[in-house]
A and B are shown apart, each in its own frame.
Chain A
Amino acid sequence: MKTRWQTIAIWFVCMAAGYGIIYAGEMTGVVDTFIENMLVMMGINIILAVSLNLIVGFSGQFSLGHAGFMAIGAYATGIMTQTESTFAGLIFSMITGIVITIVIALIVGVPTLRLKGDYLAIATMGAAEIIRLTANNLKITNGPAGLYNIPQLATWPLVYIMMCLTIIIVANFVHSKTGRAIRAVRNDELAATAMGINATKYKLMAFVMGASLAAVGGSLYASYLQSIAPSNFNIMESVSILIIVVLGGIGSITGSVIAAVVLGAIDTILQNFGSLRMVIYAVMLIVIMIAKPSGLMGRREFSIGKWLAKRTAKKQAAAES
């Protein structure tokens, strides 16, 4: 019990310290608009990658449709905050986006989650494209031109808090009873079913939860960047989120966070290379994947709780001997 509270306290201090460092940077001018933009995009990518990791890594469902759910959140915020441009309006639009996403994720998930592997990937990709093409053709979403002049209500502290909340929610979820069931289904669906786990229910749960967190990421994206267009949410966006997850390690939240930060930093550095940027990025992607196919972290996690438990165990062993 003591280690548990210690763990929570240490994590809280870490998160507060992260906030403090960025805040100090903002105050002293080290973090200018350019770097702030980079940090916010990293934060949003962490939200998206961690939520996709819940689907791909922990429940083992290969989804290529994350950008579609992100688009729903983004458009909900883009449309609603234009009439109600207050902070409450942003939160309300975020909740609306989540609710719509849950409904759509259920509609998409119930039939398609019967599929496996690459077939599921193609089906979810198709579903995301249908969402994007709908946004491309509706009047309320302003067609291919998209929405602009969205009030900038999401600032970096909000993105930071949402990022921390997402990580806390997902990390606790995968270690809960439900999370164990989800991982059991990933490891062996047949054995899990034999133990009385309703595989479809748990797969759907992970899928809907991941999708609704993606909607939060989309909301923040729309509100921070102030303009969105359907082309922001195409297959390539889903792919770039998947790249973060795979590079970090499928099934490792720590990995997703590290990969989002590393890729964000690389992307910023490569801005100086102009048109060669994507070529270098592509070569790096191939080289990293060939060198380390399981991603940077594999399935390992950085866990303060385990570290503390190990330390106390060592101390006890030392005291006994």
Chain B
Amino acid sequence: MQIFMQQLINGLSLGSIYALLALGYTMIYGIVKIIHFAHGDVYMLGAFFGYYTINVWHFNFIMALFSSMIFCALVGMLIEFVAYRPLRHSSRIAVLITAIGVSYFLENGMSVLFSGDTRDFPQVIKQVNYEWFGIRVTNVQLLIFVTTIILMIVLQLIVKKTKMGRAMRAAAADPVAAELMGININGTISFVFAIGSAMAGAAGVLIGLYYNSIEPTMGLTPGIKAFVAAVVGGVGSIPGAAVGAVIIGCLESLMQAIGFSAFKDAAVYVVLIIVLLFLPAGLFGNKQPEKV
């Protein structure tokens, strides 16, 4: 039971990181209907920017987190402007290939610039362990939960309460009608990329603190897992992305706990296929009637 609870805590921390990434996927997919394949690499850039600001400019954690979020927001808007906007009306497979191109570019560009080595992330926060009933929680884990929850509440408020959020929902529901109603579609899409990428940047800094190491190819696997989480939760739904991510994170940790760590990734994909078969719209997605 103790081991189970311990793994649950670890799974929750991992799930929170996935959740921050999955939010970006789900919002971007919701509005432009493309798999933003380079999202995991934006997260990698966030981690590297955090590394840079902490080491060179001696930022503290909060400053590093915010600067990294702003940096990633700019990167996200740039990616959308350069690689996706010219293909707004082309087939979706063509956009997917450009997204893969962007991903290759960021990964290999970073490898060329900063070498492909793994490097240690500076520990701006001294690790403190808390013990409750034999379950160990570190302050970094608590920080991850708190940051994720705050960011998710802020995001939910932006989407539900602000004018921009209403524009986002309108553009996701029907881009043509939204444009006719005077919504600036390009601006709205840029904004969605900015917010989604900022979340990825925050996740990058947090994972740097949690795992202590960063490398240029670190974005690939979490990127795919987060996308799986977004699909499991229901693409387009913010609570869905969070729940899906926590499920995936916990599943991975529990598989590790019962001694099947070699099959933890396979388990994630099995869950994905099962969810897709029985709930094609995901756990929280609204089921759309088939268009005739």
A residues adjacent to B (C-beta < 8 A): 56, 62, 111-112, 114-115, 117-119, 121-123, 125-127, 129-130, 133-134, 136-137, 190, 235, 239, 242-243, 246-247, 250, 275-279, 281-283, 285-286, 289-290, 293-295
Contact = CB atoms under 8 A, between A and B. Distances in A.
A56 B103 CA distance: 22
User: At the interface, is chain B mostly helix, strand, loop or mixed?
Assistant: helix
B104 interface: yes
B30 to A, nearest CB: 12
Contacts of A129: 265-266, 269
A139 to B, nearest CB: 12
B109 to A, nearest CB: 5
Interface stretch (B15-23, B82-90, B190-198): B82-90
B102 A286 contact: yes
A211 B228 CA distance: 23
Contact of B231 (A119, A127, A242, A282): A119
A243 B91 contact: no
Nearest to A56: B93
Contacts of A112: 273, 276-277
B83 A290 contact: yes
B108 A134 contact: no
Contacts of A118: 29, 33, 35, 92
Contact of A250 (B29, B93, B100, B262): B93
A285 B93 contact: no
Contacts of A115: 276-277, 280
Contacts of B130: none
A279 B105 contact: yes
Contacts of A246: 93-94, 97
Interface in B91-125: 91-94, 97-98, 100-105, 107-109, 111-112
Given A56-B93, A235-B224, A286 B105 contact: yes
Contacts of B82: 286
A275 B262 CA distance: 31
B4 interface: no
B227 interface: yes
Given A278-B108, A281-B104, A134 B266 contact: yes
Q: In which size bucket is the chain B interface?
A: 35 or more
A293 B269 contact: no
Given A279-B112, A285-B100, A285-B104, A123 B91 contact: no
Contacts of A122: 227-228, 231, 272, 276
Contacts of B92: 117-118
A125 B35 CA distance: 13
B292 interface: yes
Interface in B265-279: 265-266, 269-270, 272-273, 276-277
Interface string B144-179: 000000000000000000000000000000000000
Most buried by A among B83, B86, B105, B227: B105
B98 A279 contact: no
25 contacts: A56-B93, A62-B93, A112-B273, A112-B276, A118-B33, A119-B280, A122-B231, A126-B273, A133-B262, A134-B266, A137-B262, A137-B263, A246-B93, A246-B97, A250-B91, A275-B111, A278-B111, A282-B109, A285-B104, A286-B82, A286-B105, A289-B94, A289-B97, A290-B87, A293-B90
Contact of A282 (B108, B227, B262, B263): B108
Nearest to A285: B101
Contacts of A295: 94
A318 to B, nearest CB: 41
A290 B280 CA distance: 32
Given A122-B231, A286-B83, A289-B98, A276 B272 contact: no
B101 A286 contact: yes
B82 to A, nearest CB: 8
Nearest to A120: B276
A283 B83 CA distance: 10
Contacts of B270: 126, 130
Interface in B252-292: 262-263, 265-266, 269-270, 272-273, 276-277, 280, 292
Nearest to A129: B269
A126 B228 contact: yes
A289 B263 CA distance: 36
Nearest to A275: B112
Contacts of A125: 224
Given A275-B111, A289-B97, A293-B87, 14 more contacts: A56-B93, A62-B93, A114-B280, A122-B228, A133-B266, A134-B266, A136-B262, A235-B224, A243-B100, A283-B101, A285-B100, A289-B101, A293-B91, A294-B94
